[in-house]
Amino acid sequence: MLAEFSVVPVGAGESVSRYVADCLRIVDKSGVDYHLNPMGTVLEGDFDDVMAVIAACHKAITASCARVLTTIRIDDRRGTEDGLRSKIESVESKVGKRLR
């Protein structure tokens, strides 16, 4: 499955890159395949593994912030692998070129 998530500390000011970095350390250490984008992080793996990473990130930020908003979007399609790359490659093949 693929899951895109973001963890936003409410009331932490305009820049939240410090909190994003804290989450990405957790994601990177987890061993779950991931892709960082400007608005969140996409994880790919087993449901329980992916949700455990998201929960760990949420809990880490709640430890230092009184209010946290975590958003999760899940694409759970059976029988597919390497969705982080294959979904992009599929669109690029239809467009006829590599996209930014």
What is the pLDDT at residue 100? 84
pLDDT tens digits, one per residue of 24-74: 999 999 999 999 999 999 999 999 999 999 999 999 999 999 999 999 999
Domain segments of the chain as ranges = 2-95
What is the pLDDT at residue 90? 84
CATH number for 2-95 (one of 3.40.50.720, 1.10.10.10, 3.30.70.930, 3.50.50.60): it is: 3.30.70.930
Q: C-alpha distances in angstroms, 53 versus 17, 79, 96?
A: 18, 22, 35
What is the pLDDT at residue 70? 97
What is the pLDDT at residue 80? 76
User: In terms of DSSP H, where are the helices of 1-100?
Assistant: 17-30, 47-62, 83-95
